[in-house]
Amino acid sequence: MTAEQTTANATANTPDTTAVPGQRARTPRVRGRLVVTFLAALTGCGALLALAMGSSEIALPEIIAATAGQGDSGTVFIVQQLRLPRVLAALAVGAALGASGLLLQGLLRNPMASPDVIGVTSGASLATVVAIGAAVPPLGLPVAAACGAGIATTLLQVINSRTSAAGSRLVLIGIGLHAAASAGVALTMARLPIGRLGAAEVWLAGSLHARNWVHVTAATIGLAVALPAAFWLLRRLAVLELGDDLAIGAGVPVRRTRAGLLAFSAVLAGIAVAVAGPIAFVALGAPHIARRIVGPTRAATLTAAVLIGAFLVLAADVIGQRLFAPTALAAGVVTAALGAPYLLWLLHRMGRR
Amino acid sequence: MTPPQLRAENLTVAYGDRPVLDSIDIEIPSQAITAIVGPNGCGKSTLLRAMGRVLTPRAGAVLLDAEPVHRLSTRAVARTLGLLPQSNVVPEQLTVADLVVRGRYPHRGAFGRWSTTDQRAVDEALAATGTTELADRLVDELSGGQRQRAWIAMVLAQQTPILLLDEPTTYLDLAHRIEILRLLRTLNTHHGVTVVMVLHDLDEASRYADHLIALRDGAITAQGDPREIVTPTLVETVFGVTCTTIPDPITGTPLIIPLDAAHDTHPASAG
């Protein structure tokens, strides 16, 4: 009936599930599992399609063979060195954004919250633009982005701990931080030498162009740490969403849980920004869609948010590459274009309630 | 197993510089119903929240079996002490079953499996509160009384021998207030649950509680059996209302009849 049981009952306790009186325990759990399976299949198919599409069309069987290193060397090179890392990077970025947004929206009890809004993403952007200005080599940029996200989050925590822990206050501090960091980005851009301006512009658009295995490896390591932590915090989050006092009563260490949620949300956003630059909307939209189809916080909701985020970024990247080919749009531009109408629709719905 | 003992020693709580509770000593009688009463702003919610370790005392301590609750692991306390705050948040799309399952958190932790014990606790909590039929309904869409029963079910699923409730009957109509109070009475008599609640209505408190704590300005004015302590003098001291008390015709517990000064001079009745 919740979440947690989905995973629990998948592995054991089958007699227990059959002993449940009534059907109420069944429906949401089965539905969660179905949704997750469907989303995983959808994302998998999307990834295969993305591998097959490009300036040179390659047939699907050849793609699959080439990922394993078989076939003619040209195809293997295109698939293994160009397309596969780009697709995997897109999936990793989307997954990180989906999880980051879900944690943050739960923590702030605000469906409109996302790392873009509270200044984590713009903090990362500022650090990266400064690094570009300081002529840091391209591979150093993800490090700079991660540091920026970390500094922004630390600032957020420090200022917030000096005031009360209330969610709305945190959002306000975040909005202020976001404004300051954005101003910093504009200022830095104005002072960049012409030669580096292009690199900064491309990065700020949120692009997956020319991502290689270094990016994929870094993102995978980050996700391997942050995603299990997100799942670990999820049950606490489910109780915390009911109110701070109630959560304390139910044995949730509220302060530490809040700090943990904020930290891991920022780490996940930092991973995404480090790999692809600021990609708008996904961290807001993916968890929102996940909640709509799976329901309130449970393991399946987080899994769904991760998969939806991965699919959205992948789709945005493919659309950006193919829509006006040979002119390519950055994935961040596409998500922003798709996100705006969704956001308006969301506001419209909230206004009616 | 002996029931756990909850008491407060020299409990002092302050918001910033403003002291709200001043050196309070109380002992909550085990397996009984205790009601905390007093005028608005007297610190009764603060007292309950301090006992539920939501607030950290400035001085003194809340002791659970002689151990200060603030030093114990919060999850361990949550297996002994359940707390239903006054206002809670209802996330979108949350069903009653989802809500009640969350009450099992202290027994399960982050990755603990859903066990037969968990399922039984949830089923019992739903049955005890009469919410079994509502399990699939959205908490958002319930009536006030149903919603309050769902919240109580969530706290019951924690299966704690002690329950703290902050104004469980506020905002409810008469029928639902009585329903909730009867439910708590049943939990107490059938399951030996120690109930501590903040109540607004002194008549209801006298009728349903075995033990009354009357607070005024952050200090205890009186505590004991409502039949013995609820007197016109007490009501005058605590609420500043002149009244007389009569025995409830059904239970014999005190009923407050305010002596309305305005009433005496009202033209219609004066004439």
The answer to whether the CB atoms of A251 and B75 lie below 8 A apart is: yes
Closest by Cβ to A296, choosing from B49, B98, B164: B98
Question: Which among B105, B122, B154, B160 is the top mutation candidate for probing chain A, defined by the most A β-carbons within 10 Å of its own β-carbon?
Answer: B105
Residue A211: pLDDT band (50, 70, 90) is confident
A13 or A335: which leads in pLDDT: A335
Q: Flag if A233 and B110 touch (Cβ within 8 Å).
A: yes
Query: CA nearest B82 in A: which residue?
Result: A249
State the nearest Cα–Cα gap between B159 and chain A, in angstroms: 11
Q: Which of A5-14, A84-93, A235-244, A323-332 has the lowest mean pLDDT?
A: A5-14
Share of chain B above pLDDT 90, in %: 72
CA distance B87 to A227: 32
Domains and CATH numbers, chain B: 1-80+160-226 (3.40.50.300), 96-157 (no CATH)
CA–CA dist A342, A137 (Å, integer) = 37
Q: Is the pLDDT of residue B265 over 70?
A: no
Predicted local confidence at residue A10, as pLDDT: 38
Contact flag A109-B89 (C-beta cutoff 8 Å): yes
Let me know: does A206 contact A312? Beta carbons within 8 Å. no
Residue B262: predicted pLDDT: 59
**Chain B residues inside the 8 Å CB shell of A295:** 93-95, 98
DSSP A17-82: HHHSSSSTTHHHHHHHHHHHHHHHHHHHHHHHHHHH-SSS---HHHHHHHHTT-S-HHHHHIIIII
Contacting residues of A for B94, CB less than 8 Å apart: 295-296
Cβ–Cβ of B83/A245 closer than 8 Å? yes
Say whether A250 and B53 touch across the interface (CB within 8 A).
Answer: no
Contact A193/B at CB under 8 A: no
pLDDT at A164: 53
Q: How far is CA A212 from CA A85, A94, A322, A325, A326, in A?
A: 5, 16, 20, 22, 21
| Beta carbons of B52 and A236 less than 8 Å apart | no
As a whole number, mean pLDDT of residues A15-19 equals 36
Q: What does the pLDDT look like over A286-298, one tens digit per residue?
A: 999 999 888 888 8
Banded pLDDT at B231 (limits 50, 70, 90): very high
- Confidence check: pLDDT of A43 > 70: yes
Write the CATH number of the domain with boundaries A3-7+34-352.
1.10.3470.10
From the list B102, B112, B136, the residue facing A242 with the nearest CB is B102
pLDDT at B263: 56
Comparing CB atoms, the residue among A12, A238, A248 nearest residue B102 is A238
Lowest-pLDDT choice from A68-77, A143-152, A154-163, B55-64: A154-163
Cβ within 8 Å, pair A11-B97 = no
Chain B residue with the nearest C-alpha to that of A21 = B123
Calculate how close chain B gets to A263, using CA atoms only, in Å.
18
Q: Write down the H helix ranges in B129-200.
A: 144-157, 174-191
Coil, strand or helix at B266: coil
Q: Whole-model pTM above 0.80?
A: yes
Mark yes or no for CB contact B98/A295 under 8 Å. yes
The structure tokens listed for B65 are 């079996």
- Domain ranges for chain A, please list them: 3-7+34-352
Query: Which of A 270-299 lie inside 8 A of B, CB atoms?
Result: 291-292, 295-298
Nearest CB neighbour to B52, from listed A20, A249, A252: A249
B247, β-bridge pairs:
B254
The pLDDT value recorded for residue A109 is 83
Q: pLDDT for A169-190, tens place per residue?
A: 778 888 899 999 999 999 998 8
How confident is the model over A18-37, as pLDDT tens digits? 334 444 444 667 788 888 99
